[in-house]
Structure formats: structure tokens, C-alpha cells
Amino acid sequence: MKEITSGTVLRARRENIELRTEDGLTLVGELALPDGREPRATLVTLHPLPTAGGYMDSHVIRKAAWRLPELADLAVLRFNFRGTSSPRGASEGDFGDGETERHDLEAAMRFVRDRGLPDPWLLGWSFGTEVALKHGLEQPIRGAILLSPPLRRTSDAELAAWADAGPELLALVPEHDDFLQPEEARRRFAAVPCARVIAVAGAKHLWVGEKYVRRVLDEIVAEVGTAATPLPTEVAADRLADS
């Protein structure tokens, strides 16, 4: 057995993709699918703030793509928002402060529909949570999972719109978050009675440390419901990507 560490990549079918937005931009990304079987649900990942170094390879999103197709039968779609670069390449356009990124989300969801990917959930982190909250209800999603939501760009009206909507809403809030800590998060999310706010003791905004990555991935999978949690921390060698 091999321990799953920060650099572990599990087997999956991985495909470099491009998304085309309604306003004419090409975005670069990757789709990771379970190896040898169909996914049971789909995570559409929305990365942290590009102007502060966020991109599709931000570590929690990268590790979700590396692990969850194998461990939880999930399809994981990750891409660079407009104006964002990563080792995968650069997406066209300019940063839109959460507004024009609605077209990026729409393009990702069109890709999900065109590929027949099942049961889509949004997984936003920091800035990505703002895009999910502002524009997610325009899309046919099962729910949204929010990591470190700042609630800086999301208006009270945009948040309250989720109260009477069908999609589920889960917020994972670090105890020591730089922008929104659990007590204030519970107050703000009270506008959405069906939302669940989970405070994560000891964690910070960036979820640094394998302990916190594992907690986040467990909570994601528990919410989506495609595998038992906690997820394995060891795997057989033949489940590694390079085996």
C-alpha cells in the first residue's frame, strides 16, 4: 500500500480541453474521469482570485482532480478563468472581477451538458465562491460547495436568492480565515436557511497542510454522496497514475 501524500496522482482518464465562451474567448482546462468506469457526479471547479495567484492548479483543486475520480467516481472539470495562466496554458481575455466570469461558468456548464456528464456540482474556492454564488443559479446544478467564501463581491440579494432555490449550498469556513470567519459566516448565511456552514478548526484561508486537504475532500464527497467517507489515506500501487 502507498500513502496518499500531497504529490500523489491517482489513475484517471485525463484530457486537456478548451471551453468557448459566448463573448468569444477560449479558456483552457482539463477533464479528469474515473478510469474504466463512468462518473457518478461532476465537480465543476472555480479557482481562487487570479490577481492573487489563483488558477486551475491551486492546490486543493489540483488534488481534487488527482484523487477524486479514483476515490469517489467523480468527474472533475477544472479550467482557468479568463485572463488566467497556468502550466496548462493561458485563457484568453481579461479579469472581470466576478462579473464577466459568468460567461466562463456558462461555457463550463455547456461543456458538461454536451459531454453528458452527470449530476453537476460547483466547487468554488475563495473568488470562485463569488462566481458560484453570483451566477450559479443560472445553471442546472445540484448544488454548490464553497471553500473559504469571502462574501465580498456577492451582494445580500444574490446570497438571499439561494434561499428559495433548489440547489444545495455548503460552506466550509476556516477557523482562522483572513476574510470571513465562522461566526460572521453563520450570520451572513442565515439569509439561506437551508445552507450548511461547517467551521473547520485550525484551518486558514489557503487550506495548507494535508490534514486540511483531506478534511476538505472528505466533506466534498460526503456532500455529493458518491463514496463513503473518510476517504482512504492509502491505496494499492496499481491505483497510482504511473503504475
User: 48-86 in b/e burial notation, b at 16+ Cβ within 10 A?
Assistant: bbbeeebbbebebbbbbbbbbbbbbbbbbbbbbbbbbeb
Band (242; pLDDT cuts 50, 70, 90): confident
Q: Is the pTM of this model over 0.85?
A: yes
d(CA 232, CA 205): 24
Asked if residue 25 has pLDDT above 70, the reply is: yes
What residue ranges define each of the domains in the chain, with the CATH number in brackets? 2-239 (3.40.50.1820)
Asked if residue 112 has pLDDT above 80, the reply is: yes
pLDDT digits (tens, 9 = 90+) for 34-63: 999 999 999 999 999 999 999 999 999 999
